[in-house]
Amino acid sequence: MTSSFQGFRSLIENSPDAISLIDSRGQILYASGSTAKVFGYEPEELVGRNSLDLIHLEDRVQMSRVLPELLAIPQSTLQWHARMCRKDGTCSWVESTACNLLDRPDVNAIAVNHRDISARIALEAQKKEDADLLARSYILVEEFAHAVAHDLREPLRTISAFTELLVHRMDLDDQSQKMAGYTVDAAARMSDLLDDLLLLASSGLTELPRPVELQCALAAATQNLGRAIEECGAIVTADILPLVYGNSGHLVRVFQNLISNAIKYRSKETPQIHIRAEQRGWEWVIQIVDNGIGIAPEQQERIFGMFTRLHGRNIAGAGIGLAFCRKIVEAAGGRIWVESQPGAGSTFCFTVAAAHPAAASLPPQVAFA
C-alpha cells in the first residue's frame, strides 16, 4: 500500500503538467513539484494563494465563472484555456482540467491539471496566418490572371480581324497569304489559351463543397466530350461511382480534362478508358485508366505544371488542363498524380472526400458544362 502510494506521489511530482488541489473558494491546498516547471513558483510559494491570482488580468473575469460551474455538479470535470502568469512576469497559454472531488472524503478538494500549450497555440496561429496569406495570394493571382486574360482579348481580336481584312482587300501572293494565315492561326491559339486562363481565374475555388454523385459528374463529362469520343470510337467504361463531397462543376471538369487527354494522347489502338473507384478510409481514390502512349517517369510530376506540354502543335492543347485539375483537387484537400510507363498507358489518380452517409438524403448537385 505504502509503496503504491509512493509510486503515485512520484508520478504526480514528476509529471510535466502542474497538478494542484484547491478548495471551494479556489484557495490552493497543494501544488506538485512540477508547478516550478510550468509557473516558475515552488509549491510552497503557491499554497495558500488563490488560483485566480495566477490568471492573466484580461482572462480573470471569464475564469471566475468556472469555479461556481464546477461546484454546481459534484464529480464534474471542466476544461478551459487561459493565459496564466509565471513568476518571472511572462505569460503562457495553459490548458487546465479540473475535477470536482469535494464530495470524496479521501480527497475533499478540486483536482486541477495545468498543461502549458503555448507552443501548440503559437503553431496554430502560424498555420492560420500562413493559410490566410496563401488565400490572399490566390485571390491576387486570380484577379491578375483575369485582368490580363480579359485585356488581351481585344487587341487579339483586332489583329485577327484586320489580318483577314487585309488578305481579302489586297492581292497577296501565295507566300504572303500563307504568312497571314499563320498570324490568324497564332491569334486563334492565343485566344484558346486566354479562354483557359479565364476559366482558371474564375474557377471560384472558395465555393463550399456539397454532396456530388460522381456517376452524374462522369455522365456530364462524357456527354460534353460526345463528339471527340465518337470520332475516334473510344470505349469509356466505369465502375459504379460513389457519392462524394466536392464541387460538381469542378469534378465534371476534372473528368473531362482527364478523359479528353486519354483520347488526345492515344496510341494506335482504339482508346479504351476505364474509370475506377476505390474507398480508402474517409476518401475515395478515383482512377482514369487509359491504353494511350504513356508518360516517362521523369515527366510525370512536370506535366501538372502550368503550360507544360510534352507534345508539339500536332496535338491541340495549351498545357493548362492538368494544372487546372491539380488546382481543383488540391483546393478540396485531395491529391492528384499519374502512374504510367511509355507505351503501356497511363492511370491518372485523384482523391476526393467521401460523403457522409447522412448527406445521401441531400439533393446531389451536378453541373453540365
Residues interacting with ligand ADP, by CB under 6 A?
Answer: 257, 261-262, 264-265, 290, 292-293, 295, 303, 308-311, 317-323, 346
Q: Indicate the residue among 114 and 253 with the shorter CB distance to ligand ADP.
A: 253
Q: Any bridge partners for residue 277, and if so which?
A: 286
Q: Indicate the residue among 46 and 259 with the shorter CB distance to ligand ADP.
A: 259
Over 56-106, what HEC string results?
CHHHHHHHCCHHHHHHHCCCCEEEEEEEEECCCCCEEEEEEEEEEECCCCC
Q: Indicate the residue among 115 and 264 with the shorter CB distance to ligand ADP.
A: 264
Q: Indicate the residue among 87 and 189 with the shorter CB distance to ligand ADP.
A: 189
CB of 98 to ligand ADP, least distance (A): 57
Q: With contact defined as beta carbons under 8 Å apart, do 266 and 232 qualify? A: yes
CB of 285 to ligand ADP, least distance (A): 17
CB-based closest residue to ligand ADP = 317
CB of 294 to ligand ADP, least distance (A): 6
210-240 burial code (b ≥16 CB/10 A, e <16):
bbbbbbbbbbbbbebbeebbeeeebebebee
Q: Indicate the residue among 163 and 347 with the shorter CB distance to ligand ADP.
A: 347
CB of 330 to ligand ADP, least distance (A): 15
CA distance 85 to 45: 14
Q: With contact defined as beta carbons under 8 Å apart, do 220 and 366 qualify? A: yes
CA distance 211 to 243: 7
Q: How many CB atoms lie within 10 A of CB 267?
A: 14
Nearest to 55, CA basis, from 63, 47, 67: 63
Q: Indicate the residue among 160 and 291 with the shorter CB distance to ligand ADP.
A: 291
Q: With contact defined as beta carbons under 8 Å apart, do 175 and 328 qualify? A: no
CA distance 175 to 254: 42
CB of 196 to ligand ADP, least distance (A): 8
Nearest to 56, CA basis, from 86, 31, 18: 86
CB of 336 to ligand ADP, least distance (A): 11
Query: Grid coordinates standing for 95?
Result: 490548458
Residue 155 region, left (φ>0) first, then alpha (ψ -120 to 50), else beta?
Answer: alpha
CB of 342 to ligand ADP, least distance (A): 9
Q: Indicate the residue among 246 and 317 with the shorter CB distance to ligand ADP.
A: 317
CA distance 128 to 121: 11
CB of 317 to ligand ADP, least distance (A): 2
Q: Indicate the residue among 98 and 303 with the shorter CB distance to ligand ADP.
A: 303
Residue 365's contacts (CB-CB under 8 Å, 6 or more residues apart) are: 210, 211, 212, 248
CB of 365 to ligand ADP, least distance (A): 25
Query: Grid coordinates standing for 2?
Result: 505504502
Q: Indicate the residue among 321 and 364 with the shorter CB distance to ligand ADP.
A: 321
